[in-house]
Amino acid sequence: MYPTIDLHTHSTASDGTLTPAELVRCAHREGVEILALTDHDTTEGLAEAAAEARRLGLVLVSGVEISVTWSGCTIHILGVGMDPEAALLQEGLESLRAFREWRAEEIGRRLARDAAIEGTLDGARGLSNGRLVSRTHFARHLVERGVEPDVRSVFQHYLVKGKPGHVAGHWASLEEAVAWIRGAGGQAVIAHPARYRLTRGKLRRLATEFLRAGGVGMEVVSGSHSLDECFTMARHARDLGLLASAGSDYHGPADPWVQLGRLSPLPPGCSPLWKDWPIARIPRRATGQ
């Protein structure tokens, strides 16, 4: 029997709404035993999360969700269990945050120019509290201003391709992201594969290139997958020789449909990402954590 595990979550270090310590407390309350904090393009929240996890006796695995541009699509690659101090990883993440900074300014300029909405950069920056700025911060700001009723409709009307605030991504290459994670001793995992709406052939090509680069896993169970998609992705993972991971992609209590520690089990036939982790096979009380 595997412990309760959640390997994909966000904190205020990126676009989550709970601080790293609050996130860990919430996961602990929900019965999560092994948690990975995987903020977008930063490992800034890990130290605070680890300290709170030690206090509560929950296993905190270091993580990150790296933005990648592959074949014209934005793909997210999770790093799990890597050393957050690794220099190559940190240099890489730094370059992505520099792009984020430029993109945020550009989104602000475009929303002012093409949608006649001024001051969105300051609004988004205010909500990000000096941390990295994500499109989610723009979306929350526009909801606060009453421009749209919810974050989802801001994305739909302002932030996706063809809309005034859209700026094309120039993120890491697939090979770079995997190399940064591997170089730091972590496992690379394709995040929420069903979200990209790739054809079967394109998903296979992504997986093949990912494996060739040294990636090992695919997120089969995800808060953003339907049960059907979980089973489809389980089949793909098995066929392609990828380990299966599970994560909620929790961003905070504002999205009540995504909860910590409430993931369905991996479908039969999956090889879990954590199958060789010593920590995952030892009952929690015996680890002394």
Which residues are near ligand AMP by CB under 6 A? 15, 40, 67, 134-136, 151-152, 155, 251
Give min distance, CB of 76 to ligand AMP, in A. Answer: 7
Residues 131, 13 contacting (CB under 8 angstroms): yes
Please report whether residue 249 would count as binding Mn ion according to CB under 5 A: yes
3-state SS track over the chain: CCCCEECCECCCCCCCCCCHHHHHHHHHHCCCCEEEECCECCCCCHHHHHHHHHHHCCEEEEEEEEEEEECCEEEEEEEECCCCCCHHHHHHHHHHHHHHHHHHHHHHHHHHHHHCCCCHHHHHHHHHCCCCCCHHHHHHHHHHCCCCCCHHHHHHHHHCCCCCCCCCCCCECHHHHHHHHHHCCCEEEECCHHHHCCCHHHHHHHHHHHHHHCCCEEEEEECCCCHHHHHHHHHHHHHHCCEEEEECCECCCCCCCCCCCCCCCCCCCCCECCCCCHHHHCCHHHHCC
Please report whether residue 182 would count as binding Mn ion according to CB under 5 A: no
Q: Which does 135 bind (CB under 5 to 8 A by kind): ligand AMP, Mn ion, none?
A: ligand AMP
Please report whether residue 225 would count as binding Mn ion according to CB under 5 A: no
Whichever of 40 and 141 has its CB closer to ligand AMP, that residue is 40
Please report whether residue 48 would count as binding Mn ion according to CB under 5 A: no
- Choose the stretch contacting Mn ion; rule: CB under 5 A; options: 28-36, 61-69, 199-207, 233-241: 61-69
Please report whether residue 76 would count as binding Mn ion according to CB under 5 A: yes
Whichever of 178 and 191 has its CB closer to Mn ion, that residue is 191
Whichever of 70 and 274 has its CB closer to ligand AMP, that residue is 70
Whichever of 78 and 218 has its CB closer to ligand AMP, that residue is 78
Please report whether residue 15 would count as binding Mn ion according to CB under 5 A: yes
Whichever of 155 and 274 has its CB closer to Mn ion, that residue is 155
Q: Which does 17 bind (CB under 5 to 8 A by kind): ligand AMP, Mn ion, none?
A: none
Q: Which residue number places its CB atom closest to ligand AMP?
A: 134
Nearest C-alpha neighbor of 5 from the set 46, 47, 63? 63
Q: Which does 42 bind (CB under 5 to 8 A by kind): Mn ion, ligand AMP, none?
A: none
Whichever of 110 and 251 has its CB closer to ligand AMP, that residue is 251
Binding site for Mn ion (CB under 5 A): 15, 65, 76, 191, 249
